[in-house]
Amino acid sequence: VQLQASGGGLVQSGGSLRLSCAASGFPLDYYAIGWFRQAPGKEREGVSCISSSDGRTFYVDSVKGRFTVTRDNAKNTVYLQMNSLRPEDTAVYYCATERGVPDCRSGTYYRPIHYDWWGQGTQVTVSS
């Protein structure tokens, strides 16, 4: 069982990136997938979540209107489209899931403690 985040890189402020979270060893379409990020010296924070049963999505306020999470079950992959990037978006981005849970916890999806399968992160750096 593995999750792998990819697609990070260096981009100028205002630019865009699309991150991918690929799953192997399990069918991702039965699980909610959360996106998190961790900047140097800061705690890991939730960014977004997408449910599996109805595709419902959740975003923290700091990324609403700029980030979009989608899933392609045929490719066993979840994407995080990030537009209008800001220097404060610079962080290592991770995807994660909670075993046996198909939908995002509507009130607490952003809390890392709920997730027990984590992928390796991908670095996103936004220059000013």
Residue 28: what pLDDT? 87
Residue 123: what pLDDT? 98
The string over 10-35, giving b where at least 16 C-beta atoms fall within 10 Å of a residue's C-beta and e elsewhere, is: ebeeeeebebbbbbeeeebbebbbbb
Full DSSP string of 57-108: EEE-TTTTTTEEEEEEGGGTEEEEEE-S--GGG-EEEEEEE-TT--S--TTT
Residue 29: what pLDDT? 86
| Average pLDDT per consecutive 10 residues, the chain (128 residues; last block may be shorter) | 94 98 90 96 97 95 98 95 98 95 92 93 97
Residue 13: what pLDDT? 98
Residue 38: what pLDDT? 98
